[in-house]
Structure 1
Amino acid sequence: MMRTPTLWKILALPLLAVAAVAGAQTPAKPSDAPPQLERIDEMGEAPITVTPQAPKQQITEKREGGAVTEVKVTTGGSTYYMKPSAGGDLANSGTLRGPQWKVLEFDLGKKKQKQNEEEAADVPAPPPAK
């Protein structure tokens, strides 16, 4: 069995280490002097004018048999569709579905065709045969 004074030394060692670390992390007291400020020179006298641009809005109605069945609204960079909840006319129907937002559009075949056409236009025409 260990002696009591040696046991106390072993137990007190971690406590002394914690106290030393806590004492080292104590922040220094800030000085009472005001902070040094830098003088910023003013820029030219040109006034700043901001002209807001109204977002361009386009509304397209899809009709079948004279009745509006779908409305496409394009505002800014977003597009959404409004449709009636149970078929029929959009204007006379009492309930609407929530707007359907256009998130992504996949154009798998047309993009490749367009690239091929552009490449064909870039290739110089062969010289005429004599």
Structure 2
Amino acid sequence: MKRISPLWPALLLTLSAHTALAQSTPGQAPPKLEKIEEVADDAVTITSKQQQQQKSGTQITERRDNSGNVVETTVKSGPSTYTLSNKQPTGTALPGDRTAGPLRGAQWTVMEFDLGQKKKKAAEEEATDNVPPPPPPPAR
């Protein structure tokens, strides 16, 4: 008696399923399609972060260390200015650890004076206003 390999029945089953799928015909009627209303696309404007800050009047300046980490951030929003800086943990403490201490709050810049700056500028303007115009060149 001849022995039949166990792969032959699996092969025949696969072949019969393939031919059955190939013989089935799709429906004669096309599928019913729904009409989608045409809507005008709204214009999308993409602005950069700097343009958004200029519109809102906010200026953000970041200072980084040599490894590229942000060390200090200064924010000017209207008349107020404040500085955010990282608190450096002591020793091997990780941020949020009990030994690391509390978070550092924002430092507001209050009553900043420019002593002597306006006087110097005013004196320079007066000096340039009092200078007579140069004489015209001599006629030949």
Q: What TM-score range do you get, normalising by the shorter chain?
A: 0.3 to 0.5
TM-score by length of 2: 0.42
